[in-house]
Amino acid sequence: FLANLSYQEALSDTQVAIVNILSSTSGLFTLILAAVFPSNSGDRFTLSKLLAVILRLDKEGNGYKILNFIGGVVLVNLSGSEKSAGRDTIGSIWSLAGAMLYAVYIVMIKRKVDREDKLDIPMFFGFVGLFNLLLLWPGFFLLHYTGFEDFEFPNKVVLMCIIINGLIGTVLSEFLWLWGCFLTSSLIGTLALSLTIPLSIIADMCMQKVQFSWLFFAGAIPVFFSFFIVTLLCHYNNWDP
């Protein structure tokens, strides 16, 4: 719940592409937590995985250009701060908080349930939704009467968007993501979130008419390709030093 809340708050403060790229930093948090609380051999900490998450190597001519993953995140944040520094900074903080919470969430689940056949994923998410419904509904009235956020019943268009987003953007995506984490590893499943980067960039450029600077793309490239590097390293264990 907290991870999804942070993600939605970030979307309200900055562009979708920036949120998705910063959310990909959950790979670094997952790598560290999975090494501390391993669930299988795929969670073993290696230097190769660390370099794949932290560094991106691009060959240029006779040498190599090292692009830092964390530096890429900083570049993405700086690219968005040129026009609306305040809101983009708040959105970046929410994105990083959500990334850390997602890492804690998946590592703890995989440590408790190491194989997908031990967990009925649809029933698991069903109980998550049930507990949220039973325990969190007083929050609507609390936020409304304190003036923090006004609560009003949405119109038909907004209600339809909420339902579609809930079914596809939350239930289906979370189901496939958690299933993928069980079939591979928590690190690969988390880094797979970086695959949303190209589509979110295209969506922002086409639908919102957002123009990104070169800093944004310089930061997006290492974040995106780190997923493929870690996947190869986890598949071919003998590549690890």
Q: How far apart are CA 8 and CA 30, in angstroms?
A: 21
Q: How far apart are CA 134 and CA 137, in angstroms?
A: 6
Residue type, 58: D
Query: What is the percent of the chain with per-residue pLDDT over 70, rounded to a whole number?
Result: 64
pLDDT digits (tens, 9 = 90+) for 59-68: 333 333 333 4
Query: What is the percent of the chain with per-residue pLDDT over 90, rounded to a whole number?
Result: 0
Give buried/exposed letters for 39-59 (b at 16+ CB in 10 A, else e).
Answer: beebbeebebbebbbbbbeee
C-beta of residue 71 within 8 angstroms of C-beta of residue 219: yes
Retrieve residue 174's tokens. 């979370």
What per-residue confidence (pLDDT) applies to 47? 67
**Global pTM value:** 0.65
If you average pLDDT over residues 126-135, what whole number do you get? 86
